[in-house]
Amino acid sequence: MERFIQVIVDGIATGSIYAALALALVLIFRSTGIVNFAQGEMAMFSTFIAWGLYAGGVPLGLAVLTTLVLSFVAGMAIERGLIRHFEGGEVLTLVIVTLGLFILLNSLAGWIWGFGNRSFPSLFGDSTFDVGGVQLTWESIGIVGVLLAVVGLLFLLFQRTKIGLAMRAAALNPESSGLVGVRVGRMLMLGWGLAAALGALAGVLVAPRLFLDVNLMGSVLIYAFAAAALGGFDSAIGAVVGGWVIGVTENLAGTYVDFIGADLKILVPLAIIFVVLLVRPTGLFGTREVARV
Amino acid sequence: MTPLLEVEGLHAAYGQVEVLEGIDFEVEKGRKVAILGPNGAGKTTTLRALSGMVRTRGRADFDGDSVIGKHTADIARRGVAHVPEGRGTFPSLTVDENLRLGAYVRHDGSDVKEDLQRCYGWFPRLEERAGQPAASLSGGEQQMLAMGRALMLRPRLLMLDEPSLGLAPIVTRELFKVLGEICDEQGMTVLLVEQNAGLALDFADHAYVLESGRIGLSGPAEEIKGDDSVRRSYLGY
Amino acid sequence: MSDRTLRIAGLVVLIGFAVLVPFVFGPYRVGQFTLVAAYAVAALGLNLLVGYNGQISLGHGAFFALGAYTAALLIEKANLPYLLTVPLAGVLAFAVGYVFGVPALRLRGLYLALVTLALAVATPQLIKRFDGLTEGTQGMTVEQPESPGWLPLADDQFLYLLTLVVAAIMFALAWSLMRSQVGRAVQAVRDEEIPASTLGVDLASTKTRVFALSAGYAGVAGALYVFAIGFVAPEAFTVTISLAFLAAIVVGGLATIVGAVFGALFIEFVPVYASDVNDALTGVIYGGVLILAMFLLPGGVAGLLRRIRELVARRPAEEEVRRPAVATEGRGVPAGKT
């Protein structure tokens, strides 16, 4: 029984990481209307930057914070410099552009930092503690806590601030937003910046658990896609719930179902993607169907 | 005194199709001007051109500064409130959120709150539904919301695109009555595009008639209303 | 010179070059061009789906793998003559594509992209899963076609020309299909679904059939790939190959027949040359070129050639490309955005 609870808790922690990246995907989808296939690689790149700062002597917390800020700026730059040119055009073009960015960032990171792997320290330390026979790590608690804090902040931003309202409006109806003086382009930039920061957060949270290498976020991205698909691509709550469900399911399957070894664990989110999209494409909490290509 | 809005030789096109073929008109500060005409004459296009939503050439100056080639958001920031065809409300946002968005460009927080209250005063039905999504409103209420949203900008020019569209006559009359009161009270400068010539001529001071992308007739609203032959040949009633 | 003359001239040059390849280049180079021909067939299949029919698939590597493994198994385990495995691989891939297409066509745009992406990611895992059949990670060596004694051709030359002939047949098939009534229906579905259905085009079955056909093409290409490489393993069929096919058709030119050739050349040779410069830089160049291509050549290489032809002929080119899924003019920022 203890083991079961442990698996659940750990699943929620992993799920929170998927949720963070899924939130980034949802943010981009709601504002720009596309799925950013390069979101994971952007996150990986950010994580390397954090590592670089840390290895250079910067205290971990500060390194992470700086990385979040830098990622925010980079996200804005990518929207303004690259994506903006293709907005309003064919979706396929943007798909190719983000795929190109995926490949580019992956190799660029390899070029700069090499293709080997390295370890990344946890923000929450390694210690564990005991609650009624269940072994919990501060790390797991920390990850879930961070996610909840992030969700809370995003809620405040979008529901209680003027700029959050403007961002929502810009995503809902760019033309009407222009009529009230909302500069839609700037709102999109902000959206991409936020998404990049969220991705970076996911990266630094997952890196201690896996090895930090250029393929760090490859599978995490698939899990995040599954989470967003399950939750509904235009729902933030969906991303969180989806992430937790995927995390827990993956962990349960990996622990209790024998023929799914480490290699085939990836089939779990893939199967979920298939089933969800074929049975209920809008996901659990989503409202609109993705537009056609 | 120079008019608040001066338009000369305005051309507008959708792709290769030219809809406005060089129109001239002006709106003086504090006056209400109506642009009338049949469907497809280019009335909506005129407003869209002034809001930077359509490819234009020619001259269109708002308070001395050109609006040709400018972005919609920048034009709005200059104090031009445009209530478009289809109202431009955000269906999934609440009534309150829609109104507050109208004041997005303003920085005077406390005055915005005051204006919001005043808006609810003009349109009590909106206050009743303040927390509801805009999509749940009736046609007439949505039009009120659209106008409220525009007024929240504290605009120097209010542009209305066919407010009567899709509304029952009773609702429309009520709407225009309230609108007239607000505009007179505020000394608002209004550019109204309407297919319902009767209502528009009652509301406006001056009117232009647009036909196939050109101005056919212009004059004080009173005169046009009073002239039977003009009414019959240009406005069909 | 009319546009038509230029196009025919261009085609003649292309075919001429293609036929001369095995006699001009050494075996290694010829082997590369053989792969190009195989990839071109796969790319063409994908282009039918994406360019002409407007659906998106990020998972064609799966059908490519299916074709490859089918051919491999039929040759190694069932001892079938290799030539027979080509149509069989194609038919099986077509059938699987059809089955997959039935639920998939309910999905639009990005959802279909995701589902097909999931398929692509799952493929190597699935191959490993059924290792009883596929030999799993260690892969399978496959006997390659040899030049028959009565032809004065070396093995690599024979293999290349064989692949070329199959590819030519596939291209001719696609070309005539897209010019026919069927082809018009296919494109009508892409352009505006509602008008197409009022014209009596059965949307559902058209989309499924195109999906299946494009899968069949990928299957045939997979078989050709096996002949060329002589070895199959799961690692050859990761997401990378699926994305490469997509890149190929976009760079080559969507909704064009000849674009598949340019795209195949791109995906075969760019990584080779890029890795000559710097191993890590391969991806940077590849990704960079993809992005640049979208900026500069939204119509792909085929689109560029068309523009050149227009310049030379001093007249707009024939309507070969009808409203492809990638804008042929750069789309600027819509009014209202800053």
Q: Can you tell me the distance from the alpha carbon of C66 to that of C264, in angstroms, rounded to the nearest whole number? A: 19
Cβ-based neighbours of C85, under 8 Å, separated by 6 or more: C70, C71, C74, C75, C223
Q: Can you tell me the distance from the alpha carbon of A24 to that of A195, in angstroms, rounded to the nearest whole number? A: 4
pLDDT score at A17? 94
Q: Can you tell me the distance from the alpha carbon of A107 to that of C270, in angstroms, rounded to the nearest whole number? A: 15
Asked if B124 and B170 sit in the same domain, the reply is no
Of A86, A91, A266, Cβ closest to residue C110: A91
Q: Number of A to B CB contacts under 8 A, please give it.
A: 61
Arithmetic mean of pLDDT over chain C: 82
Its domain, for residue B137, covers 90-152
Q: Number of B to C CB contacts under 8 A, please give it.
A: 15
Of A162, A173, A184, Cβ closest to residue B90: A173
Contact residues, A window 260-289, toward C, CB-based 8 Å cutoff: 263-264, 266-267, 270, 273-274, 277-278, 281, 289
Cβ contact A203:A218 at 8 Å: no
Cβ-based neighbours of C98, under 8 Å, separated by 6 or more: C208, C209, C211, C212, C215
Nearest-Cα distance to chain C for A28, in Å, is 13
Nearest-Cα distance to chain C for B77, in Å, is 12
Q: Can you tell me the distance from the alpha carbon of A24 to that of A82, in angstroms, rounded to the nearest whole number? A: 18
Asked if B160 and B63 sit in the same domain, the reply is yes
* Closest by CA position to A71, among listed A119, A38, A26, A118: A38
Asked if B200 and B100 sit in the same domain, the reply is no
* Closest by CA position to B147, among listed B117, B184, B178: B178
Strand partners, B8: B59
Token pair for C5? 């003359």
A153 at the B interface (CB within 8 A)?
A: no
Token pair for C252? 């080559």
Token pair for A230? 């399950």
Asked if B183 and B197 sit in the same domain, the reply is yes
Residue C326 pLDDT level (bands cut at 50, 70, 90) = very low
pLDDT score at A291? 42
Asked if the Cβ–Cβ distance from A264 to C325 is below 8 Å, we say no
Give the Cβ contact number of residue A81 at 10 Å: 9
Could you tell me if residue B69 is inside a domain?
Answer: yes
Chains that touch B (3 or more CB pairs under 8 A): A, C
Of B72, B92, B100, Cβ closest to residue A179: B72
Predicted TM-score (pTM) of this structure: 0.85
B105 at the A interface (CB within 8 A)?
A: yes
pLDDT score at C184? 81
Q: Can you tell me the distance from the alpha carbon of A187 to that of A14, in angstroms, rounded to the nearest whole number? A: 30
pLDDT score at C337? 31
Asked if the Cβ–Cβ distance from A278 to C115 is below 8 Å, we say yes
Residue C141 pLDDT level (bands cut at 50, 70, 90) = confident
pLDDT score at C1? 61
Q: Can you tell me the distance from the alpha carbon of B202 to that of B226, in angstroms, rounded to the nearest whole number? A: 11
What is the rounded (10 degree) CA torsion for B167, B169, B170, B171?
Answer: 20
The dihedral built from the CA positions of residue B171, B174, B180 and B182, taken in this order, carries a sign that is negative
Domain ranges of chain A: 2-117+128-213
**pLDDT tens-digit map of C285-321:** 888 888 988 888 777 788 778 777 777 776 565 544 4
**Single-letter code of the amino acid located at C171:** F
Q: For residue C28, how far is the Cα from the chain centroid? A: 22
Residue C96 pLDDT level (bands cut at 50, 70, 90) = very high
Q: Can you tell me the distance from the alpha carbon of A239 to that of A241, in angstroms, rounded to the nearest whole number? A: 6
Classify the phi-psi angles of A168: left when phi > 0, otherwise alpha if psi is within -120 to 50, otherwise beta: alpha
Nearest-Cα distance to chain B for A35, in Å, is 22
Asked if B73 and B159 sit in the same domain, the reply is yes
Nearest-Cα distance to chain B for A31, in Å, is 15
**pLDDT tens-digit map of C43-76:** 999 999 988 888 888 889 999 999 999 999 988 8
Report strand pairing: B5-14 vs B17-27. antiparallel
Q: Can you tell me the distance from the alpha carbon of B226 to that of B203, in angstroms, rounded to the nearest whole number? A: 14
pLDDT score at C325? 44
Residue C323 pLDDT level (bands cut at 50, 70, 90) = very low
Nearest-Cα distance to chain A for B39, in Å, is 23
pLDDT score at C185? 79
Chains that touch C (3 or more CB pairs under 8 A): A, B
Element holding B83 (H helix, E strand): strand B80-83
Q: Is A208 helix (H, G, I), strand (E, B) or coil?
A: coil
> E strands, chain C, where?
140-141, 231-232
Asked if B71 and B164 sit in the same domain, the reply is yes
pLDDT score at C64? 96
Cβ contact C195:C188 at 8 Å: yes
* Among B108, B133, B152, residue at a domain's last position: B152
* Among B152, B170, B199, residue at a domain's last position: B152
DSSP assigned state of C149 = T
Nearest-Cα distance to chain C for A183, in Å, is 6
> What is the count of structural domains for chain B?
2
Residues of chain A contacting residue B76, judged by C-beta atoms under 8 Å apart: 178-181
Spans of chain A below 50 pLDDT: 290-293
pLDDT score at C102? 82
Token pair for B200? 């528009």
Asked if the Cβ–Cβ distance from C108 to A106 is below 8 Å, we say no
Asked if B121 and B223 sit in the same domain, the reply is no
Q: For residue C191, how far is the Cα from the chain centroid? A: 22
Asked if B18 and B125 sit in the same domain, the reply is no
Closest residue in B to A163 (Cα) is B104
Asked if B164 and B97 sit in the same domain, the reply is no
pLDDT score at A187? 94
pLDDT score at C60? 93
Asked if the Cβ–Cβ distance from A165 to B51 is below 8 Å, we say no
Asked if the Cβ–Cβ distance from A292 to C103 is below 8 Å, we say no
Could you tell me if residue B196 is inside a domain?
Answer: yes
**Single-letter code of the amino acid located at B65:** D
**pLDDT tens-digit map of B26-79:** 999 999 999 988 887 888 999 999 999 998 999 999 998 999 989 999 999 999
Q: Can you tell me the distance from the alpha carbon of B35 to that of B44, in angstroms, rounded to the nearest whole number? A: 10
pLDDT score at C226? 93
**Single-letter code of the amino acid located at C169:** I
Asked if the Cβ–Cβ distance from A174 to C291 is below 8 Å, we say no
Token pair for B214? 């050109």
Q: Is C156 helix (H, G, I), strand (E, B) or coil?
A: helix
Mean predicted confidence (pLDDT) in C174-189: 83
Q: What is the CATH number of the domain that holds B218?
A: 3.40.50.300
Cβ contact A43:A207 at 8 Å: no
Token pair for A38? 């390069």
Asked if the Cβ–Cβ distance from A293 to C325 is below 8 Å, we say yes
* Closest by CA position to C325, among listed C303, C296, C292: C303
**Single-letter code of the amino acid located at A249:** T
Q: Can you tell me the distance from the alpha carbon of A227 to that of B179, in angstroms, rounded to the nearest whole number? A: 49
Longest dimension (CA), chain B: 52
pLDDT score at C330? 34
Cβ contact B227:B233 at 8 Å: no
Asked if the Cβ–Cβ distance from C290 to A273 is below 8 Å, we say no
Cβ-based neighbours of C1, under 8 Å, separated by 6 or more: C312, C313
Cβ contact B49:B9 at 8 Å: no
Asked if B98 and B50 sit in the same domain, the reply is no
Could you tell me if residue B125 is inside a domain?
Answer: yes
Element holding B214 (H helix, E strand): strand B214-220
Per-residue pLDDT at C219 exceeds 80: yes
Cβ contact C250:C293 at 8 Å: yes
* Among B100, B119, B152, residue at a domain's last position: B152
pLDDT score at A293? 30
A183 at the B interface (CB within 8 A)?
A: yes
Put the strands of the sheet holding B17-27 in their side by side order. B17-27, B5-14, B55-62, B65-66
Asked if B10 and B119 sit in the same domain, the reply is no
Angle among Cα C111, C115, C117 to the nearest 5 degrees reads 110
Token pair for C89? 């691989």
Cβ-based neighbours of B87, under 8 Å, separated by 6 or more: B142, B143, B145, B146
Closest residue in A to B96 (Cα) is A165
B139 at the A interface (CB within 8 A)?
A: no
Asked if B69 and B104 sit in the same domain, the reply is no
Closest residue in B to C333 (Cα) is B71
Nearest-Cα distance to chain B for A170, in Å, is 10
Could you tell me if residue B99 is inside a domain?
Answer: yes
Of A165, A172, A175, Cβ closest to residue B100: A165
